[in-house]
Chain A
Amino acid sequence: MTFALLLIGLMMLGSAAWAMLGRNLIHSALLLIASWAGVAGFYLWAGAEFVAFAQVLVYVGAVSMVVLFAVLLTRQNQISATLIEPASRARAATGILTAACVGAIFGAAILSTGFHGAASAGPVSSVKRIGLELMHRNGAALLIVGVILTVALLGATVLAASDSKNSPEDLP
Chain B
Amino acid sequence: MSPAPDSFLERAPLELRDWAVNLLPAPTQWLAHQLITIVAILAVFGLFFAFTTIAERKLLARLQNRLGPNRTGVPKFSILPWHLKHTLFGLSQPFADAVKAITKEDIVPAAADKVLHYLAPVTVVAFSLMGFAVLPFGRQYIPVELDAALLYFFAAGAATELAIFMAGWSSRNKYSLLAAMRALAQLISYELPLILSVVPIVLVTGTLSTKAIVVDQGFWTFSLLPHWFVFTPWGFAGFIIFLVSALAESNRSPFDLPEAESELIAGHLTEYSGFKYALFFMAEYFGLTALSGLGVTLFLGGWQAPCEFLQFIPSYLWFMMKLIGMIVFFIWVRGTLLRLRIDQLTRLSWQFLVPMALLNLGNAAFWVLSAHWAGPLQLVRWAVSLAIIVVPFVVMGRSLTAGYAPRTYRYAP
A residues near B (Cβ < 8 Å) are 26, 30, 33, 49-50, 53-54, 56-57, 60-62, 64-65, 68-69, 72, 79-80, 125-128
Q: Is the CB of A79 within 8 A of B172?
A: yes
Q: Is the CB of A26 within 8 A of B169?
A: yes
Name 29 A/B residue pairs within 8 A (Cβ), A-sorted: A26-B169, A30-B116, A49-B146, A50-B147, A53-B148, A53-B151, A54-B151, A56-B156, A56-B159, A57-B151, A60-B158, A60-B159, A61-B162, A61-B191, A62-B188, A65-B162, A65-B184, A68-B165, A68-B169, A79-B172, A79-B177, A80-B111, A125-B147, A126-B147, A127-B148, A127-B207, A127-B209, A128-B206, A128-B207
Q: Is the CB of B152 within 8 A of A53?
A: yes
Query: How many chain-B residues does the 8 Å CB contact rule pick out?
Result: 28
Answer whether A72 and B177 are a contact pair too, CB < 8 Å, given A60-B159, A65-B161.
yes
B residues near A (Cβ < 8 Å) are 111, 116, 146-148, 151-152, 154-156, 158-159, 161-162, 165-166, 169, 172, 174, 177, 181, 184, 188, 191, 206-209
The closest CB in chain A to the CB of B147 belongs to A127
Q: Is the CB of A57 within 8 A of B177?
A: no
Answer whether A56 and B155 are a contact pair too, CB < 8 Å, given A26-B169, A30-B166, A79-B172.
yes
Answer whether A61 and B166 are a contact pair too, CB < 8 Å, given A30-B116, A49-B147, A53-B152.
no
* Residues of the B chain whose Cβ atoms lie less than 8 Å from the Cβ of A57: 151, 154-155, 158
Instruction: Return the contact of B158 from the options A62, A80, A125 (Cβ within 8 A).
Output: A62
* Residues of the B chain whose Cβ atoms lie less than 8 Å from the Cβ of A79: 172, 174, 177
Least distance between B174 CB and chain A CB atoms (Å): 7
Instruction: Return the contact of A56 from the options B158, B172, B208 (Cβ within 8 A).
Output: B158
The closest CB in chain A to the CB of B208 belongs to A127
A91 to B371, CA, bound (A): 66
Least distance between A139 CB and chain B CB atoms (Å): 16
Q: Is the CB of B148 within 8 A of A50?
A: yes
Q: Is the CB of B172 within 8 A of A61?
A: no
Q: Is the CB of B155 within 8 A of A53?
A: yes
* Residues of the B chain whose Cβ atoms lie less than 8 Å from the Cβ of A50: 147-148, 151
A54 to B165, CA, bound (A): 21
Known: A79-B174, A80-B111. 14 other contacts (CB 8 A): A30-B116, A30-B166, A33-B162, A49-B148, A50-B151, A53-B152, A56-B156, A57-B151, A61-B191, A69-B184, A72-B181, A126-B147, A127-B148, A128-B207
Least distance between B208 CB and chain A CB atoms (Å): 5
Least distance between B262 CB and chain A CB atoms (Å): 24
The closest CB in chain B to the CB of A64 belongs to B162
The closest CB in chain B to the CB of A130 belongs to B148
A153 to B4, CA, bound (A): 52
A33 to B119, CA, bound (A): 14
* Residues of the A chain whose Cβ atoms lie less than 8 Å from the Cβ of B207: 127-128
* Residues of the B chain whose Cβ atoms lie less than 8 Å from the Cβ of A126: 147
The closest CB in chain A to the CB of B154 belongs to A57
Least distance between A55 CB and chain B CB atoms (Å): 8
